[in-house]
Amino acid sequence: MSAATTPPGAPRAGLTPPADAAAPVRHRDAPAPGELLGAHYDQCFGCGDAQSHGLHLAARAGEGVTVTAEFTVQPAHQGAPGLAHGGVLVSALDETLGALGWMLRVIAVTGRLETDFLRPVPVGATLHLSARCTAVAGRKIYSSAEGRIGAPDGPVAVRADALFVEVKLEHFTGNGRPEEIRAAMADPDQVKVARAFEVNP
C-alpha cells in the first residue's frame, strides 16, 4: 500500500514494528506531563534558542510516551510565497518525534521518516504538533506524529511515521565537528543533559 493510500494511523512498509516489539514504557525519571522540555542544544535548528532563523520549537511532556509542541511559521521558513517550506515542516515533525527520547530517557537519532503533506501551512500560522511512541524493539523506536493548523484540534496539515535508533553519546562526539563538540562539552548544562541520558536502568 503506498503512502497516498495508507489510512491515517496505519503503519507503513518499513516502519511497521516487528511482532516481538514491546509497548513503550515511560521512564520513571521522565519529565512530568505538561513540563516544558527545553532545548537539548542551543544551536539546534529545531529547538535551539541561539538559531535566529530556527524553528524555536517548544515541546512539552505528555501523558505516557507522548509529547506536544508548537511552532509558528516565520517569513524565513517559507518556500512558496506566503507558505511554509515542506522541508521546514518535516524538520518540525522530526524535532517533535525526537523529543520522545525525553520520555524514554534515551538518546536516539532519526533512522527513517516518512511524511504526508495534507494541506498548505501559511506563514504566521501556528502548527500544533503531537507525537507518540508506538513500539520499541531493541534499539529501534517506532513513533508517529501530526501537525494541526491553528489549534490542537484544528485541521491536520502534516503527519509522519518514524523509526529512531538509540545511540550513545559517542555517536555525536565521534562524528560532529570538533569545534562544536568542544563548545558543547564545555557547557555544564549540555553535559548534564547528555550524561543524564547515558544512564538508562
| Statement: residue 106 has pLDDT above 80 | yes
Q: Do the domain assignments include residue 187?
A: no
Q: Do the domain assignments include residue 90?
A: yes
Q: Do the domain assignments include residue 36?
A: no
| Statement: residue 194 has pLDDT above 60 | no
Closest Cα partner for 54 from 80, 36, 82, 73? 73
Which domain does 92 fall in, by range? 58-167
Q: Do the domain assignments include residue 5?
A: no
Question: Residue 15's pLDDT band (boundaries 50, 70, 90)?
Answer: confident
pLDDT of residue 90: 96
Q: What domain count does the chain have?
A: 1
CATH number of 157's domain? 3.10.129.10
Residue by residue, DSSP assigns 21-88 as PBPP---TTSPPTT-B---SSTT-TTT-TT-TTS---EEEE-SSSEEEEEEEPPGGGBSSTTBB-HHH
Q: Do the domain assignments include residue 71?
A: yes
Q: Do the domain assignments include residue 104?
A: yes
**Is residue 33 a contact partner of residue 63, using CB atoms and an 8 Å limit?**
yes
Rounded mean pLDDT of 16-44?
Answer: 88
Phi, psi of 122, rounded to the nearest 5 degrees: -75, 155
Q: Do the domain assignments include residue 123?
A: yes
Q: Do the domain assignments include residue 193?
A: no
